[in-house]
Amino acid sequence: MSKVAVVYWSGTGHTEAMAQAVAEGAQAALFTASEFDPSTAADYDAIAFGCPSMGVEQLEESEFEPMFEACKPALSGKKIALFGSYGWGDGEWMRTWESDCEAAGALLACPSVICQEDPGEDTLDACRKLGQALC
């Protein structure tokens, strides 16, 4: 069985609900961005990262982005998945994030899951499947 981590940041609880569904699907350890030690990223077979869109379609800057940047050297060749929620825009932050991950050599295991505001049951089911894709 693969060793999988689910690492997220959530301001409103929407991305947290998505992270819990991903962890359920992957039967994985669940960490907030502040709990996850980037030096352990290489210890996992796969990692799901979750972050909402902030500001002008960007990752959360004080906790999540610094943690993610510290993980990037360990992502080359690693299977990852991305998820998050947004309140406005069209999901540009996710497309930018996917491109950044691919440039770092990460292997996107499945299409990213995004939702506007509160994730409904369809989104949570997609998150469970995202988690399963990492196993």
pLDDT tens-digit series, residues 37-94: 999 999 999 999 999 999 888 999 999 999 999 999 999 999 999 999 998 888 899 9
Nearest to 110 by CA among 93, 92, 126: 126
3-state class of 49 per DSSP?
A: strand
d(CA 83, CA 19): 8
Residues 6+ apart with CB under 8 A from 75: 41, 47, 101, 104, 105, 106
Q: Indicate the pTM of the whole model.
A: 0.97
Largest CA distance in the chain: 39
